[in-house]
């Protein structure tokens, strides 16, 4: 296994600086943000990917010795208006990944909030069938993070149809792989290790994020959270500052034969607000996970 992080937490920094800092800290991999240039979460110019950009990215990873574990573009592929544009950018991410020798592109299934789940699943077959085949022909797998994305639904219902093992099995039938993030399972009352064990062979990437349960909030809002759709009774933290047993998680991955990247997804509100604070948070995550993932 290789320990890395998703670069989206350092949007103000250049990829060169991020990579050299990461290598200096002992990280081994980077999951690089690949949103469109207009979005801002962008450390690789997927929508302007040419020989010069290929050379730039290749040089960064050659100089630092890091591995490019995935290109990240987490958007709603089933959005009723913007879905086709999202699908097209996923294809651009696949093209860039293939050119760089990167094995995966990460995204969301998403959801059309105006349709019931059954109709969305049928829609996803039509959308992802061609995308999976496009990636297969180029040696790139599409990985789906099991995030709920409640903010994508007006009533706070799941906005990304990939949040449970039941839906993972449906995704795998389409040729999609899992970008496994245990933090979202805690927020659904699911044991992240028990849920993961049967599917380790279908995990192509792992994100490491923790979940802190906020005292007293569950008694106020209930499992579904506030009517606003916000989280309410939990918040995400860097590994080591929540309730996830990372020893069990990493041990189960090793036992199941997983040998890919474990990428810290920094969404910790405490260790945010400046580059220095984000780096401190990444350092906490590194010290938590390094003892479990030998360098």
pLDDT digits (tens, 9 = 90+) for 159-214: 999 999 999 999 999 999 999 999 999 989 999 999 999 999 999 999 999 999 99
Domain regions of the chain by residue span: 2-290
CB 42 within 8 A of CB 35: yes
Model pTM?
Answer: 0.96
Q: Tell me: pLDDT of 294 over 70.
A: yes
Cα 231 from Cα 214, distance rounded (Å): 10
Q: Tell me: pLDDT of 47 over 90.
A: yes
Residues 6 or more apart whose Cβ sits within 8 Å of residue 77: 83, 86, 87, 90, 107, 108, 109, 110, 124, 127, 128, 131
What's the pLDDT score for residue 230? 63
Cα 171 from Cα 174, distance rounded (Å): 5
Cα 267 from Cα 107, distance rounded (Å): 17
CB 150 within 8 A of CB 156: yes
**Which superfamily is assigned to 2-290 in CATH?**
Divalent-metal-dependent TIM barrel enzymes (3.20.20.150)
Average pLDDT over all residues of the chain: 95
């Amino acid at each position: 296994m290789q320990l890395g992080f998703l670069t989206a937490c350092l949007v103000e920094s250049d990829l060169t600086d991020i990579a050299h800092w990461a290598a200096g800290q002992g990280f081994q991999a980077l999951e690089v943000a690949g949103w469109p240039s207009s979005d801002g979460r962008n450390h690789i110019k997927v929508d302007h990917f040419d020989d010069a950009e290929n050379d730039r990215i290749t040089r960064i990873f050659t100089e630092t010795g890091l591995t490019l574990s995935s290109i990240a573009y987490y958007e709603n592929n089933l959005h009723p208006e913007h879905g086709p544009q999202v699908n097209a950018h996923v294809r651009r991410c696949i093209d860039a990944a293939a050119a760089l020798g990167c094995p995966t592109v990460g995204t969301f299934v998403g959801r059309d909030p105006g349709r019931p789940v059954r109709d969305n699943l049928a829609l996803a077959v039509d959308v992802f069938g061609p995308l999976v085949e496009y990636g297969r022909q180029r040696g790139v797998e599409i990985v789906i993070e099991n995030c709920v994305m409640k903010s994508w639904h007006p009533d706070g219902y799941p906005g990304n149809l990939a949040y449970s093992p039941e839906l993972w099995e449906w995704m795998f039938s389409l040729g999609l792989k899992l970008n496994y993030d245990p933090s979202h399972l805690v927020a659904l009352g699911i044991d992240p290790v028990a849920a993961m064990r049967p599917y380790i062979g279908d995990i192509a990437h792992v994100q490491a994020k923790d979940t802190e349960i906020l005292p007293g909030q569950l008694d106020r809002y209930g499992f579904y959270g506030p009517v606003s759709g916000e989280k309410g009774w939990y918040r995400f933290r860097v590994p080591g500052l929540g309730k996830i047993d990372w020893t069990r998680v990493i041990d189960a991955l090793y036992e199941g034969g997983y040998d890919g990247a474990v990428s810290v997804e920094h969404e910790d509100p405490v260790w945010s607000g400046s580059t220095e604070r984000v780096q401190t948070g990444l350092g906490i995550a590194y010290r938590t996970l390094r003892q479990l993932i030998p360098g």
